[in-house]
Amino acid sequence: MIHEYQVVTRQNGVGDFVLEINLCSSDVGKYVKYFNSATDTWKLMRCVKWCYNLVRCSKATSGISYSNLATVYKHSILPVITYTAEAWHSLISKRAKNKLQQIQRSFLIFLTKAYRSVSLDTLQAIAGLMPIEQAVSLYKDIRAISRGKQTNAVRAQLRKVETPIKTKGTHPIDSYLHVELTGVEGIAEVTVYIDGSKTEHVGAGMAAVKDSKEIHTETQRLNNECTVFQAELCGIRIAIDWIQNQWKKASTYAINVGSKAALLTIANKHTTHPLAVDTRRKTIVLRKDTSVTFHWVKGHSGLKGNERADYLAKTVASYKPATSYDAIPVSRGKRLLEEYYIKIWNAAYTNSEKASHTKSLIPSTLHRMTLTFWPNHILTQFLKNYGCFRSYFYKSKKTPTPLCSCPEKAEQTARHLITDCSLFSKERPAVFWKLPLPSP
């Protein structure tokens, strides 16, 4: 149980360190109670502690860079905040949301080296990090698709996402599956060639050869969102299914595959990929009375059987009217979810009354995600139009005139310095070297 929490912050004025922040249980208890156990509570408190510890090593013009702080935020802070989000996400109160926003705001100020009064919308856009509500929803949905559950995100493609499968109870003798990766073509009584392709369509093809004659071909079309890797695994599965249906017509089969990654996945006893798990299971049953060997062959190396499988996957599979496999990989599902929540963030950002100056430089959050600049103390002032500009100082009567001392004699705002101040022309490229400048 938390009674009181104290954090030592940096020295305040001249003197020793002072104790500034006292977070008592009543203060944080409202949002802490949604976390399932006392351990989680401590994790959250640790998160607050990290936040204030960062003050010591990250100052406006020195200390940890944006990139490193963003890594700390994404990989240490967000996982702590979003832990067990599935349980408390829908129950969270307005006050709890505000608390989480406060934590995010503190980090964003360190990240962007901004002044404390900058609005949250602006900070999020400059830092390129989505609001905490969307981040929590994103993490919750990512965990949901990894477990084969439905998400709240309205994306048609997300209805079918591959669910990782864990295999249990396999005998150690059965867990080993040998794959030959020397690049030498495997020859047996029946030699099978597999290839997968992704152009406009995604397809898998197999060709079986016996005594230099093609005895069987088969193709499968996959959803356009699927990957070549999945197509290769589908191809291997088609081959194994076909061998199973042969009812021991031949005693040895050599399967030549063009993808090393697919074969390594099949060989891995810890794999959770549903296609690989299915293929492994069938192969282990099959090899009790039939010899099945896997070989990696280099693609497009002039091997006749491989070229034939490539043609089948690329051309013949594309004529199939329906797809026979349409589960997208989890990685693609995660990307789709991220895009979905960035769009929601974008709608909130563009409709917000705040951040009007920032919007002229970063019109949308979708645009922000394409930029790779690192915010720093100087750049953030320009992006917010809030800092050491005469127009700003003039409002508080710290300077006698708002006008710039350049020959243009315009009001010295961030926009003037960014676009047309001749005195600032030398420094301008150094400040905005990764940020596209707006037209004057």
How far is Cα 236 from Cα 170, in angstroms, rounded to an integer? 21
Nearer to Zn ion, 323 or 419 (CB): 419
Count of residues touching Zn ion (by CB under 5 A): 3
Q: Which of 372, 289, 303 is nearest to 66 (CA)?
A: 372
**Minimum Å distance from CB 397 to Zn ion?**
21
Nearer to Zn ion, 60 or 403 (CB): 403
How far is Cα 436 from Cα 232, in angstroms, rounded to an integer? 42
Select from 53-61, 174-182, 325-333, 396-404 the region that touches Zn ion (CB under 5 A): 396-404
Nearer to Zn ion, 156 or 388 (CB): 388
Select from 3-11, 21-29, 301-309, 415-423 the region that touches Zn ion (CB under 5 A): 415-423
Among 125, 262, 404, 414, which residue interacts with Zn ion (rule: CB under 5 A)? 404
Select from 5-13, 216-224, 336-344, 406-414 the region that touches Zn ion (CB under 5 A): 406-414
**Minimum Å distance from CB 409 to Zn ion?**
8
Among 69, 179, 240, 421, which residue interacts with Zn ion (rule: CB under 5 A)? 421
Nearer to Zn ion, 193 or 389 (CB): 389
Among 348, 406, 431, 435, which residue interacts with Zn ion (rule: CB under 5 A)? 406
For 314, which DSSP code? I
Select from 78-86, 206-214, 345-353, 413-421 the region that touches Zn ion (CB under 5 A): 413-421
Q: What burial class does residue 435 get, using C-beta atoms within 10 Å of its C-beta: 0-12 exposed, 13-18 middle, 19+ buried? A: middle
Task: Provide the phi-psi class of 247: left if phi over 0, else alpha when psi is between -120 and 50, else beta.
Answer: left
Select from 36-44, 245-253, 268-276, 404-412 the region that touches Zn ion (CB under 5 A): 404-412
Which residues within the stretch 46-75 sit at the binding site for Zn ion (CB under 5 A)?
A: none
Q: Residues 248, 289: contact at Cβ < 8 Å?
A: yes
Q: Residues 117, 338: contact at Cβ < 8 Å?
A: no
CA-based end-to-end distance of the chain: 58
180 DSSP β-pair partners: 295
Nearer to Zn ion, 150 or 425 (CB): 425
Q: What burial class does residue 250 get, using C-beta atoms within 10 Å of its C-beta: 0-12 exposed, 13-18 middle, 19+ buried? A: middle
Q: Give the pair of three-digit tokens for residue 419.
A: 């676009």
Helix, strand, coil shares of the chain as percentages rounded to 5? Answer: 50, 15, 40
Nearer to Zn ion, 326 or 420 (CB): 420
Nearer to Zn ion, 177 or 431 (CB): 431
Q: Give the pair of three-digit tokens for residue 184.
A: 């030498």
Regarding 403 and contact with Zn ion (CB under 5 A), the answer is: no
In degrees, rounded to 5, the angle at the alpha carbon of residue 165 between the alpha carbons of residues 163 and 167 is: 175
Regarding 309 and contact with Zn ion (CB under 5 A), the answer is: no
**Site for Zn ion, rule CB under 5 A:** 404, 406, 421
